[in-house]
Amino acid sequence: MKKTLSLTALALVAFVTLTGFRGCGHPDHRDPAQLAAFVTEHLNDVLDDLDATPAQRTQLQAIKDRLLQSVQKLQGTRQATHDALLAEWKADKVDRAKVLALIDQRADELKALAHDAADAAIEAHDALTPEQRAKVAKKAERMHGHH
DSSP states of 75-92 as a string?
HHHHHHHHHHHHHHHHSS
Between CA 36 and CA 71 the distance in angstroms is: 10
Could you tell me the residue range of the domain that residue 72 belongs to? 2-15+30-143
- Residue 21 falls within a domain, yes or no? no
- Residue 68 falls within a domain, yes or no? yes
- Residue 23 falls within a domain, yes or no? no
- Residue 59 falls within a domain, yes or no? yes
**Residues 133/11, Cβ–Cβ less than 8 Å:** no
* Mean pLDDT calculated for residue range 20-32: 55
- The confidence score (pLDDT) of residue 30 equals 64
- Residues whose CB is less than 8 angstroms from the CB of residue 15 and which lie 6 or more positions away in sequence, other chains included: 21, 67, 117, 120, 121, 124
- Residue 124 falls within a domain, yes or no? yes
Q: What predicted TM-score, i.e. pTM, was given to this entire model?
A: 0.72
Between CA 59 and CA 127 the distance in angstroms is: 7
Total domain count, the chain: 1
Helices (H), the chain: 2-19, 32-49, 54-90, 96-127, 130-143
- Residue 112 falls within a domain, yes or no? yes
Q: For residue 80, how many other CB atoms are within 10 A of its CB?
A: 10
Question: Using CA of residue 102, residue 11, residue 53, residue 22, what is the dihedral sign?
Answer: positive
Between CA 121 and CA 26 the distance in angstroms is: 22
Mean pLDDT is highest, among 5-9, 22-26, 76-80, for 76-80
Mean pLDDT is highest, among 29-33, 35-39, 69-73, 130-134, for 130-134
Residue 82 Cα to chain centre, angstroms? 20
- The confidence score (pLDDT) of residue 22 equals 46
- Residue 108 falls within a domain, yes or no? yes
- Residue 78 falls within a domain, yes or no? yes
DSSP structure class, residue 129: -
The residue ranking higher by pLDDT, 142 or 101, is 101
Between CA 56 and CA 111 the distance in angstroms is: 27
